[in-house]
Structure 1
Amino acid sequence: MPHGFPAPDTRNPLVLPDGSLHEGTVFLRPAIDHPRWIVGDYTYASAHQVPDDWAQRLAPYLHPAAPERLILGRFCQIADGVVFVTASANHRRDGISTFPFAIFDGFGDNRPSLPGPDPATFPDTVIGHDVWLGQGARILPGAQIGSGTIVGTGAVVGGRVPPYSVVAGNPGRVVRRRFDDSRVARLLEVAWWDWPIGRILANEALICGGDAAALAGA
């Protein structure tokens, strides 16, 4: 890999000054073996206390037979304490009681206390590319977070978030856009995250800078 940059299948990509690996930082694609997760290359998560099971730590309600998926793009950054509250965490809420009687009684088919079989009841949670999820953020079932978005510490985010937004608070709200619409459109067209890693590293200064036109010409 150019400049010694770790390969995307490296589980622990962060090397400390003493040469040891930082066990609390992982590229998620090689760290997670779960049928309902889809993770892009170089997306990483960090934790102060290293979990035995990263999938369980990050998405505790997403069991292997769940109908929904958790989809993460490339180059996402997931801070300590982030939790994805996926759709299987939901209780039925269209009737008088939300109590899930069926889960304490062997589930069973079509139990009235379970959410209905409609696929819309179990939407996928989709995180775009190059999204930064700040410490302790909660991502709600079915959230659709656009590429380049920054989610602030402790934010609780649901619904659809436009690309290159900054989201904060509970409930999470877009507090500003990172770039104007024309620059956002250009950045989405460039889609630098899809480039080969050598080209990305060669253009690191442009990718980390603010000149979308220059990046488009790279």
Structure 2
Amino acid sequence: MALHRGWEWIRRHGEITPSTPAGRRFGHLGKGVCIGFPTGAIFGEPWIHIGDDTLVGVHVTISAGFGPGLDLGPDPVVKIGKACSIGRGSHIVGHQSIEIGDDVFTGPYVYITDQNHGYADPDVPVGRQWPVNDSVVIGDGCWLGAGAIILPGTRLGRNVVVAGGAVVRGEFPDHSVIAGVPAKVVRRYDPETGWRPPFPETPLDEATLAALADLPPIPGPGELAS
């Protein structure tokens, strides 16, 4: 249909790349970068740096500061490394410092921010209290599952897996799997023993082992039929 062909033309020509006028507004947009169209809210481009060959899905918001036209100082606020893939509908909202390493992949609708409202004064609505900033670092090779929320002050090591829907705050080591609300380490990699739970497993005591040994054998399929 002509409508579909027209939409494909608009979608293709609406993409932001280093060679487009919109791409040249960024502090740095590496070679091979493509930001899908339609975009989400994108502003504060001079303080956004994106490394080579990173792909950003459609409807993704990437912002630096509270709104367009602000002077945020000499340093980048949002840095996304090389060869990353940012899933559709995700939000990366930076005010102080968000650093995303190389080869980081996210599912759709991931939310990453370095700012949240304070709630210290019980007599003032939370939304009217002064926001609190705390920088975010996401290490190389991380995977963030669909709907994960990365809150201010988060530090993820290398190759960390974040389960879908997790709400993450705090520091997490290299080669760990984190899940839950709030997120906790559920698996980690030990170079000597491989992947294991975060704490040593408790061995079964002798009484439990003896009780298991006394259980009758499980019948096979043929025995059940007879």
How would you bin the TM-score normalised by the shorter chain?
A: 0.5 to 0.7
Q: Which runs of 5+ in 1 are unaligned?
A: 1-7, 14-20, 52-56, 103-112, 116-120, 185-218
Alpha-carbon distance in structure 1 between the residues aligned to 2:38 and 2:192: 39
Q: CA deviation at 1:26?
A: 5.1
Alpha-carbon distance in structure 2 between the residues aligned to 1:101 and 1:82: 22
Which amino acid letter does the alignment assign opposite residue 114 of structure 1?
Answer: W
Alpha-carbon distance in structure 1 between the residues aligned to 2:122 and 2:97: 29
- What SS does the aligned partner of 2:117 have? coil
Q: Deviations over 1:94-130 (max 9, x none)?
A: 222352575xxxxxxxxxx424xxxxx4221100000
Which amino acid letter does the alignment assign opposite residue 134 of structure 2?
Answer: P
Task: Give the structure with the higher percent strand.
Answer: 2
Per the alignment, do residues 154 and 145 of structure 1 end up closer, same or farther by CA in structure 2, a change over 3 Å counting?
same
Give the length in aligned residue pairs: 138
Q: Which runs of 5+ in 2 are unaligned?
A: 1-29, 40-52, 65-75, 196-226
Alpha-carbon distance in structure 2 between the residues aligned to 1:177 and 1:100: 36
Which amino acid letter does the alignment assign opposite residue 78 of structure 1?
Answer: T
Superposition TM-score, scaled by structure 1 size: 0.53
Task: Give the structure with the higher percent helix.
Answer: 1
Identity %: 27
Indicate the residue corresponding to 1:197 in structure 2: none
Indicate the residue corresponding to 2:159 in structure 1: 148
- What SS does the aligned partner of 2:186 have? strand
Superposition TM-score, scaled by structure 2 size: 0.52
Which amino acid letter does the alignment assign opposite residue 93 of structure 1?
Answer: Y
Alpha-carbon distance in structure 2 between the residues aligned to 1:22 and 1:178: 38
Q: CA deviation at 1:181?
A: 7.1
* Counterpart check, 1:78 vs 2:106: yes
Superposition map of 1:40-189 within 5 A: 40-47=81-88, 57-60=90-93, 62=94, 66=95, 68-87=96-115, 90-99=116-125, 113-115=129-131, 121-180=132-191
Q: CA deviation at 1:33?
A: 8.2
Q: CA deviation at 1:92?
A: 2.3
Per the alignment, do residues 85 and 178 of structure 1 end up closer, same or farther by CA in structure 2, a change over 3 Å counting?
same
Which amino acid letter does the alignment assign opposite residue 73 of structure 1?
Answer: G
Q: Deviations over 1:129-159 (max 9, x none)?
A: 0000011100011100111100011111110
The CA RMSD over aligned residues, in Å, is 3.4
Per the alignment, do residues 98 and 74 of structure 1 end up closer, same or farther by CA in structure 2, a change over 3 Å counting?
farther
Alpha-carbon distance in structure 2 between the residues aligned to 1:9 and 1:181: 40
Q: Deviations over 1:57-102 (max 9, x none)?
A: 4124x3xxx3x11100011011111001322xx2222222352575
Superposition map of 1:186-205 within 5 A: none
- What SS does the aligned partner of 1:175 have? strand
Alpha-carbon distance in structure 2 between the residues aligned to 1:101 and 1:154: 24
Task: For CA contacts below 8 A with separation 6 or more, give which structure has more relative contact order.
Answer: 1
